[in-house]
Chains A and B, each alone.
Chain A
């Protein structure tokens, strides 16, 4: 998986591309989120538009990202969820835990 980090209107945006799966993608996501939080980001958007596959480890990393951000006083939003990512979060009732938006603009306005 590839992670591109950019800034927009004071918000740190992580664009994820590829598979968030055990061994590679999950670690890349964890490192990117920790780096953002450690560098003082208080508003974070994870853009999942180009995620093709997510497994339980990837879901676990999204949960860890949410709890890490919350514990450090930061806010985290998820945007552009592909249908299969929505499905997998729905099955484990996590879709209600995250703040999910259909577009980056909507998520930016929500902070």
Chain B
């Protein structure tokens, strides 16, 4: 992956900063040659991850940061989102498809992340907080082919 496609962002815990992540992510995914449809669903998954980090991880404390790292290993897009919260146990999640949960206003974010990405993984962050890692195979024109196309322009 070219350096200009790898990015790291550190944002304060405000919901409006999700839009900043989206602008940079969109540019990066376009450069990878990801198709529009796939890009939309990655966009939603990352929104959910960053929103969770801001809301549940950092309790919307603007002094606490959310770190977002995007990289590409082979044809796999890897996005890491870190918060500075109290930690998170994903085994406590309820099934949003259960009849008793269907009409609850909350509890679908991680379900959507799992639906739109190939893999999501939670781990404790050294020093406190949570890291969620999202992985997705990039289809469409390969990143390498795309880069070669751009070099040829």
Contact = CB atoms under 8 A, between A and B. Distances in A.
B44 A53 contact: yes
Interface stretch (B27-35, B67-75, B101-109): B101-109
Contacts of B47: 21-22, 53, 55
B64 interface: no
Nearest to A94: B102
B51 A55 contact: yes
Interface string A69-93: 0000000000000001000100111
Q: Interface size class for chain A?
A: 20 to 34
B117 interface: no
A91 B44 contact: no
Q: Main SS of chain A's interface residues?
A: helix
B3 interface: no
B44 A55 contact: yes
A59 interface: yes
Interface in A7-44: 21-24
Interface of A: 21-24, 53, 55-57, 59-61, 63-64, 66-67, 84, 88, 91-94, 97
24 contacts: A22-B18, A22-B47, A22-B55, A23-B14, A23-B15, A23-B16, A24-B15, A24-B16, A53-B40, A53-B43, A55-B44, A55-B47, A55-B48, A55-B109, A56-B106, A60-B104, A60-B105, A63-B103, A66-B103, A88-B112, A92-B108, A92-B112, A97-B102, A97-B103
